[in-house]
Amino acid sequence: MATRKLIGTILAVVALFTFFFSWHVLRLIGLESWVPGWLVWLSLAGASLAFLLGDGSTSETVEPRGKAVFITGCDSGFGHNLAKRLDRLGFTVFAGCLFPDKDGAQSLKRETSDRLQLIPCDVTDDWQVQQALHTVTNNLGSCELWALVNNAGIAVFSEIEWCTVQQFQRLLDVNVIGVVRVTKAFLPSIRRCGGRVINIASLAGRFTIPAFTGYSMSKVACVAFSDGLRREMDKFGVRVITVEPGLYRTPISSPDYLVDMNRKNWAETPTEIKEDYGQEYFDAFLKNLKAHVNNARPNVDEVIDLMVEAVVTEDPKTRYVPYWLSYIRSSIIMYLPTSLADRLFKSYTCKAEVARTPKTPKTPKGGEKKFF
């Protein structure tokens, strides 16, 4: 495994250095708009081989008997499916649910064994998190708390000028402070048995697409927290792992939900801002957003498989990215020069012209307006 990691690292460094160095040479001679196709393919090939050869993990798995896992956000989506998979494998699962009495949580209970226990858990509520810890601790029996999976999360996909401050705050409360709150509560139990913390981040935590700014902010913070925690916990033998999927078809990426949310935001946006953008632009934005989320990958098992691997593998990877092509794209984008990345992400913005030309600044009395 050490050899695979070394080869993968060398290939990745060579590929990315070649691309990066060549770009700067071209920039110095004024030909930055011309990037040879072979450089792109070399980078792709290097990143592909790095993916295949680098950061491998062993296939040995842990014994599920006597091991418990606490998962947040099990009402639906990734957490719901992960809880069922781990229950079938024989783990004792504590499934944190925001609404434990509603259909999502109740269907989870019906479809799993008696080992699975529903736990009320709003990750933004200190009291509920402490109560969840108390319940888990008192029901472990002979089990050890092997893994914490911070899966609970929300999404807002909206342009900054009509995304409310309250929505930014809510994203950070759930996706960042919620992860910190739950981790700090459960970490002593994880640390005592040399277990692991698995944080469900996103590729949006590595780069920011227009209209995903608030969501990306929260996932960048989640990745930074995970990196710091991993380095601090290494001395205790605790593994800290991130699973970083792209866009998948889950309830938080529902087109109807996102369109309704943006329409409400737009209606509450100040008139002068709406006039500057124009209704034509907003309509094109909604069309572009729906097209983007409709292209979300449908096979959520690609994510669940890696979440399971992060829990059960004796020697897991530090970072899991579902779907090999997403891994390659993200590896390249992370090292692109800013100007190239900006050009790339222009394709994610709608092409509608702003319906109304912004007002020309008035000329002050006494002469022409001066710009500094």
Tell me the two tokens of residue 230.
């991993």
Nearest CA to 14 out of 262, 239, 335, 258 is that of 335
Strand partners, 97: 120
Tell me the two tokens of residue 138.
């008192």
Tell me the two tokens of residue 105.
């949580």
Hey, which bits of the chain come out as E strands? 67-71, 92-97, 117-120, 144-150, 196-200, 239-243, 319-320
Q: Could you write out the DSSP letters of every residue in 346-364?
A: GGGS--PPPSSPPPPPPPP
Verify whether residue 335 is a known catalytic residue: no
Helix pair angle (37-53, 324-333), 10° resolution = 120
Tell me the two tokens of residue 305.
């498989």
d(Cα 50, Cα 330) in Å, to the nearest integer? 13
Q: Degrees (nearest 5) of the Cα angle 281, 283, 286?
A: 110
Q: Which of 215, 248, 277, 320 is catalytic?
A: 215
d(Cα 81, Cα 302) in Å, to the nearest integer? 12
d(Cα 28, Cα 10) in Å, to the nearest integer? 27
Which residues are the active-site residues? 215
